Structure 1
Amino acid sequence: MDVKQRTIAALDPGRDKCGFAVLRQDGRVLMQRVIETQRLEAEVQQAQADFSFEVLVEGNGTTSKAARSRIREVLPDLRIEVVDEYRTTDMAKKAYWQANPPHGWRRLLPVTMQVPPVPVDDFVAVILGHRYLEEHHHE
């Protein structure tokens, strides 16, 4: 990996599951997944070991404060930046359908009328990461 290419992590915290992603500074997604909230610390620590991200971008949803304090316990030196989650779920559904176009009769229905068959929290995390990178592209 290019040493100059820094990485960030992004988290969409939730009560039962979280969206989690690691992105390069150029916006390329290195990892994205939905994780169980009870495994939050272990997943973030493992990703930190694998990707050495400099900052964790976190959505400002209802469980964000609890998630932040849990992460600070295991990674006290990690910089955490809170980002507005406004409309990210709708954007994530759209991104899901772009990555997984409907097949068969489903392709006849507008995707805006369909619900993705899997959680899209990981797409939300990617969107939060991109939102942060766009706001901080000068750094």
Structure 2
Amino acid sequence: MIIAVDPGNEKTGIACLSYDGTLYEKKIVPSHTLEDALTAMLQRVQADNHGVTHLVCGNGTNHKKLFTVVQRVAAKAQLPAALTDEAHTTEEARKRYWDYNPPKGLKRFVPRGMLYPPESVDDFTAWIIGERFLQKEGLYGSYV
């Protein structure tokens, strides 16, 4: 398992996923609470007997400030922390949102790329950042 972070100014997405990309948990937290939220997620995942091997942070908005938080949590847990490219992940997350929340009514006929989710998708973005990291590192689909 890895935990990925989509850093933002006001809110931050966090997602825990397996090496095959399966989502274990995701959430959106106020950015100023990231350290506590990340620590709590890490502890929950480990309590469920799932090993976490990496903490990953996207390199977009506010990453310079929040990556230091990710590094601090990773150091306490003796895990590596990494930055990964997050270009265009928000657009991908908007499409994925509709995969998990299919549009109803007339919205069913609008191409998903043209629909705008009614809520924040930072958690979906973190999930995609995690998948990108796994692909970049050649870990996607492996079992560690």
What is the CA distance between 1:9 and its match in structure 2? 0.3
Q: Deviations over 1:33-70 (max 9, x none)?
A: 11111210100111111224221111001311100112
Looking at structure 1, the residues matched to 30 and 57 of structure 2 have their Cα atoms a distance apart, in angstroms, of: 16
Give deviations 1:6-35, integer Å, cap 9, x for gaps: x11000000011110001122211101111
| Cα distance in structure 1, aligned partners of 2:96 and 2:80 | 27
Structure 2 match to 1:17: 11
Contact 2:59 2:86 (8 Å CA) reproduced:
yes
Distance 1:78 1:65, change over 3 A: farther
Residue matched to 2:49 = none
Is 2:29 aligned against 1:35?
Answer: yes
Structure 2, unpaired ranges of 5+: 47-51
Alignment of 1:1-139 (within 5 A): 7-52=1-46, 53-76=52-75, 77-136=78-137, 137=139
CA RMSD, 1 decimal: 1.7
Q: Give the TM-score normalised by the residue count of structure 1.
A: 0.87
The runs of at least 4 aligned residues of structure 1 exceeding 3 Å deviation read 71-75
Taking only the aligned residue pairs, the percentage that are identical comes to: 36
Q: CA deviation at 1:75?
A: 4.3
Aligned length: 133
Pick closer, same or farther for the CA change 1:102–1:35 going to 2, 3 Å: same
Cα distance in 1 between the residues matched to 2:92 and 2:73:
31
Q: Distance in 2 between matches of 1:74 and 1:84?
A: 20
Change in 2 beyond 3 A, CA 1:110/1:74 = closer
Q: TM-score, normalised by structure 2?
A: 0.84
* Amino acid across the alignment from 1:31: E
5+ long unaligned stretches in structure 1: 1-6
8 A contact 2:55–2:74 mirrored in 1: no
**Displacement of 1:74:** 4.5
